[in-house]
């Protein structure tokens, strides 16, 4: 079992591993502007290295080591540029294959291939080939919402000994620490299911003074054509036995829950969320004087929890607010024994300095604030576990929901469940928390070799434009505005059928009586007309995707000159080729075929201008809107990766908390602390110490806090 000191040592070891992984070559390569210099046969490969900033993790290093023998460049080989480039593609393909079962929500992967350590001064001329792999897919943390599943936060991959996802089974051991529970560890098993529920999950954790077990069946649906973007539902049982000062809180609860989030609404893209949870179970404590506070020491419990929330997200900040309502009973009647009200508001901002040196760590300033308040209206009695205790562990109003609403006062200078002076807790509270962090050291997620490449950012911008226009093309096939023009293309399709029949009627070999050059010209023209006809007919066969190809079929900039620069539309190309072919057919004595060709050409000549006018008049703004909505996500994510995210970063942290529970004569309690945050991509571990400036008898000077959270990169 690790103690606290060892825990810090493990974190430090992780950081050191990152630093060590950035190898530095000892000899300079003087011809990096002209890699062909090394590929003319004079250089052999001394070593092939496959590196990753997180390859100190066993799962990563073993994956990379397995790839090495498959690379197209090996030690002892003569250095060849194509093999060097192919290695990068092979790594990408292998990582794609490895990822197939993981179903990640997002990831960015950078594979870098470079040469290093060139021995140029004397034979044997050698160099090292280095492939560096950067991937965010160490686990699926890059989710789309401002809030994250608490169970994922509590069981991050970076604290897990191993994490194995093999198709439908996930096994994840985890280790964590808080002052009240001490160091605790456990395991989570998740199994994918067919049918109504998508997953079954069982987890358990324990320490020397606590134990927690969970079982849940969960599912997600995405209703189409409604304001709801996503609906989650869950049936769960949870049991916990955790200390609370000199007391213990034990509870077992059965839950049936449903949660929903709307699509982004309005010009600001506000997302509304709502949900409910029916709960029933029992709770026990060791308290002896609870009756005076109308609290139930050992009782059943039942109730309904419901909430309404909203999220607003911009490039620099996220704003979220929630109201939660709980109607509770002691479990024996339908009578409401207590009513709990909660308000939770959060503001998170991230600002990146405008002028940063390319490739350097992004010195992001992060501001995180949260205000929470709660009030219990005790009508008859309230179970002790439902009262407010407070401390340096965040508790959620509805466990298991992706939407996190704090249900207890949070103050980092006081251990979990010890803010309240009374063993039975309070009935009213507020807490306000401010955290400021600024990265000062680390490494940007886009490696310096790429960020300083003068072609990279222009190519990235060009690629974004291409991707957007491709999406517009895809959505053209999905919006319902092409019905008329598709109908008006029917005569064109009929003309092509006639042309096909004519082509099929021609002899396989033109008569030997014709001069050879005439036969060759006929063969060439027939090939061009036949191919053009097949290409257009193939377009017509797939009517669903035809709208995205209509421009290519019908339009060119200048039909008088387009044959000179290959820019004619397919229909124009066919008409030009058909004009030549029907003339040649007439000259060769195929008068009937020539007449068909002429008639088809003239028919197409007549139809095409009208079709182009009709195409130009179609309003495609809906397709553009849909494409822009998709690209907003892509662009925001790319911007985060290129301008904001670091592979790792270290930030000093300042923390301030104020909180109070009523009844408590000690008034408002404060926490003033500092610490350090280690960020791996968007996963943050913050370790610090918060001082308690208004200590009471029996209280320590403060408390250590360890928080784990995830930065949303999808603003």
Partner 1 sequence: MPNPGTAFSVDLLIVTPDQLRKITFKLSKGFNTDGSVNWNLEFGLQERSKTTDPFHDVVQLKVNLQPALHAKANATAKKGLDDTQTSAAIAAADSAKLFSQGDISKASANNAAKRVIAVRGT
Is the separation of the CB atoms in 642 and 627 below 8 Å?
Answer: no
Angle at 677 between CA 671 and CA 678, to 5 degrees: 160
Taking the least distance from each CB to partner 1, the nearer of 115 and 600 is 115
- In DSSP terms, 307 is beta-bridged to 275, 324
Taking the least distance from each CB to partner 1, the nearer of 142 and 381 is 142
Say how many C-beta atoms besides its own lie within 10 A of residue 10's C-beta.
Answer: 13
Taking the least distance from each CB to partner 1, the nearer of 183 and 319 is 319
Joined tokens for residue 246: 């000199």
Q: Residue 277 and residue 260: Cα distance in Å, rounded?
A: 12
Taking the least distance from each CB to partner 1, the nearer of 471 and 653 is 471
Is the separation of the CB atoms in 203 and 187 below 8 Å?
Answer: yes
Taking the least distance from each CB to partner 1, the nearer of 516 and 564 is 564
Q: Smallest distance, Å, CB 527 to partner 1? A: 6
Q: Smallest distance, Å, CB 29 to partner 1? A: 7
Backbone torsions φ then ψ of 256, nearest 5 degrees:
-130, 120
Q: Smallest distance, Å, CB 238 to partner 1? A: 25
Q: Residue 586 and residue 592: Cα distance in Å, rounded?
A: 8
Taking the least distance from each CB to partner 1, the nearer of 81 and 270 is 81
Is the separation of the CB atoms in 168 and 131 below 8 Å?
Answer: no
Is the separation of the CB atoms in 157 and 170 below 8 Å?
Answer: no
Q: Residue 200 and residue 563: Cα distance in Å, rounded?
A: 62
Q: Smallest distance, Å, CB 364 to partner 1? A: 20
Q: Smallest distance, Å, CB 499 to partner 1? A: 15
In the chain, what is the greatest distance between 2 CA atoms, to the nearest angstrom? 118
DSSP of 460-489, one letter per residue? HHHHHHHHHHHHHHHHHTTSS--HHHHHHT
Q: Residue 92 and residue 87: Cα distance in Å, rounded?
A: 9
Q: Residue 502 and residue 582: Cα distance in Å, rounded?
A: 11
Taking the least distance from each CB to partner 1, the nearer of 449 and 602 is 449
Taking the least distance from each CB to partner 1, the nearer of 398 and 568 is 568
Burial pattern 389-420, b for ≥16 Cβ within 10 A else e, equals: bbbbbbbbbbbbbbbbbbbbbbbbbbbbbbbb
Angle at 215 between CA 210 and CA 219, to 5 degrees: 140
Establish how many alpha carbons lie within 13 A of residue 182's alpha carbon, considering only the half-sphere containing its beta carbon. Answer: 10
Taking the least distance from each CB to partner 1, the nearer of 135 and 420 is 135
DSSP of 206-223, one letter per residue? E-SS-EEEEEEEEEEE--
Taking the least distance from each CB to partner 1, the nearer of 95 and 704 is 95
Is the separation of the CB atoms in 452 and 358 below 8 Å?
Answer: yes
Is the separation of the CB atoms in 428 and 375 below 8 Å?
Answer: yes
Taking the least distance from each CB to partner 1, the nearer of 596 and 713 is 713
Place of tokens 């991050």: 156
Q: Smallest distance, Å, CB 242 to partner 1? A: 34
Taking the least distance from each CB to partner 1, the nearer of 25 and 306 is 25
Taking the least distance from each CB to partner 1, the nearer of 403 and 641 is 641
Q: Residue 203 and residue 161: Cα distance in Å, rounded?
A: 15
Backbone torsions φ then ψ of 105, nearest 5 degrees:
-75, -30
H-run or E-run covering 584:
helix 570-587
Q: Smallest distance, Å, CB 470 to partner 1? A: 5
Q: Smallest distance, Å, CB 555 to partner 1? A: 7
CA distances, 316 to each of 192, 270, 337, 400, 443 (Å): 37, 15, 44, 28, 21
Q: Smallest distance, Å, CB 397 to partner 1? A: 23
Q: Smallest distance, Å, CB 300 to partner 1? A: 36
Q: Smallest distance, Å, CB 93 to partner 1? A: 11
Q: Smallest distance, Å, CB 627 to partner 1? A: 10
Taking the least distance from each CB to partner 1, the nearer of 285 and 572 is 572
Q: Smallest distance, Å, CB 99 to partner 1? A: 8
Q: Residue 74 and residue 84: Cα distance in Å, rounded?
A: 10
Taking the least distance from each CB to partner 1, the nearer of 116 and 655 is 116
Q: Smallest distance, Å, CB 136 to partner 1? A: 10
Taking the least distance from each CB to partner 1, the nearer of 78 and 325 is 78
Is the separation of the CB atoms in 23 and 61 below 8 Å?
Answer: no
Please name the residue ranges forming H helices in 483-569: 483-488, 490-505, 516-541, 550-554
Q: Smallest distance, Å, CB 528 to partner 1? A: 7
Q: Residue 478 and residue 489: Cα distance in Å, rounded?
A: 18
Q: Smallest distance, Å, CB 547 to partner 1? A: 9
Which residues, at least 6 apart from 517, have a Cβ–Cβ distance to it below 8 Å?
none
Backbone torsions φ then ψ of 129, nearest 5 degrees:
-105, 125
């Amino acid at each position: 079992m690790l103690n606290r000191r060892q825990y810090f040592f493990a974190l430090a070891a992780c950081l050191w591993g990152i630093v060590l992984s950035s190898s530095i070559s000892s000899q300079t390569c003087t011809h990096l502007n002209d890699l062909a210099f090394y590929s003319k046969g004079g250089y052999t490969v001394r070593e092939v290295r496959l590196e990753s900033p997180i390859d100190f993790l066993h799962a990563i290093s073993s994956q990379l080591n397995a790839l090495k023998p498959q690379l197209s460049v090996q030690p002892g080989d003569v250095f060849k540029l194509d093999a060097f480039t192919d290695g990068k593609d092979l790594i990408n393909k292998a990582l794609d294959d490895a990822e197939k079962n993981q179903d990640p929500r997002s990831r960015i992967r950078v594979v870098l291939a470079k040469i290093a350590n060139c021995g140029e001064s004397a034979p044997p001329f050698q160099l090292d080939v280095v492939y560096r792999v950067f991937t965010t897919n160490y686990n699926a943390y890059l989710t789309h919402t401002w809030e994250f599943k608490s169970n994922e936060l509590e069981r991050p991959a970076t604290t897990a000994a191993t994490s194995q996802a093999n198709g439908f089974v996930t096994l994840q051991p985890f280790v964590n620490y808080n002052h009240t529970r001490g160091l605790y560890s456990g395991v989570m098993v998740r199994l994918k299911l067919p049918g109504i529920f998508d997953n079954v999950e069982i987890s358990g954790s324990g320490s020397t003074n606590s134990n927690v077990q969970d079982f849940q069946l969960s599912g997600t649906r995405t209703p189409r054509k409604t304001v709801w973007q996503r609906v989650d539902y869950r049936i769960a049982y949870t049991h916990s036995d955790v200390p609370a000062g000199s007391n213990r809180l034990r509870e077992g609860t059965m839950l049936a829950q449903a949660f929903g989030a709307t699509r982004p609404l309005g010009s600001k893209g506000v997302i509304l969320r709502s949900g409910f949870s029916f709960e029933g179970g029992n709770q026990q404590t060791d308290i002896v004087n609870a009756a005076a506070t109308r609290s139930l020491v050992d009782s059943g419990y039942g109730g309904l929890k419901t909430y309404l929330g909203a999220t607003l997200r911009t490039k620099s900040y996220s704003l979220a607010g929630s109201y939660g309502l709980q109607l509770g009973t002691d479990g024996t009647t339908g009578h409401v024994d207590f009513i709990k009200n909660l308000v939770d508001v959060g503001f998170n901002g991230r600002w990146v300095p405008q002028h940063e040196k390319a490739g350097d760590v992004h010195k992001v300033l992060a501001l995180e604030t949260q205000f929470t308040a709660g009030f219990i209206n005790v009508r008859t009695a309230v179970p002790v576990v439902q009262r407010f205790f407070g401390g340096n562990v965040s508790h959620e109003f509805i466990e298991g929901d992706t939407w996190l609403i704090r249900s207890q006062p949070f103050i980092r200078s006081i251990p979990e469940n010890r803010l309240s002076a009374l063993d039975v807790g309070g009935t009213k509270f507020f807490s306000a928390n401010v955290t400021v962090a600024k990265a000062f050291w680390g490494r940007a997620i886009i490696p310096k070799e790429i960020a300083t490449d003068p072609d990279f950012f222009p190519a990235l911008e060009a690629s974004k434009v291409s991707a957007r226009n491709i999406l517009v093309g895809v959505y053209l096939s999905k919006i319902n505005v092409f019905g008329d023009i598709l109908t008006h293309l029917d005569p064109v399709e009929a003309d092509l059928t006639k042309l096909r029949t004519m082509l099929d009627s021609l002899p396989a070999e033109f008569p030997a009586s014709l001069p050879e050059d005439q036969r060759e010209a006929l063969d060439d023209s027939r090939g061009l007309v036949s191919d053009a006809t097949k290409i257009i007919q193939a377009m017509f066969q797939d009517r669903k995707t035809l709208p995205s190809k209509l421009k290519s079929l019908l339009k060119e900039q200048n039909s008088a000159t387009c044959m000179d620069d290959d820019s004619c539309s397919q229909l124009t190309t066919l008409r030009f080729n058909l004009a030549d072919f029907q003339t040649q057919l007439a000259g060769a004595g195929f008068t009937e075929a020539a007449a068909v060709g002429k008639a088809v050409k003239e028919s197409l000549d007549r139809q095409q201008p009208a079709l182009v006018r009709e195409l130009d008049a179609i309003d495609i703004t809906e397709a553009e809107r849909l494409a822009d909505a998709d690209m907003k996500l892509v662009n925001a994510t790319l911007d985060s990766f290129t301008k904001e995210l670091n592979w790792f970063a270290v930030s000093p942290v300042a923390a301030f908390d104020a909180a109070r529970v009523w009844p408590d004569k000690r008034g408002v309690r404060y926490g003033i602390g500092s610490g350090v945050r280690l960020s791996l991509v968007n996963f943050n571990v913050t370790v610090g110490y918060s001082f308690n400036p208004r200590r009471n008898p029996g209280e320590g000077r403060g408390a250590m806090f360890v928080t784990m959270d995830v930065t949303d990169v999808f603003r």
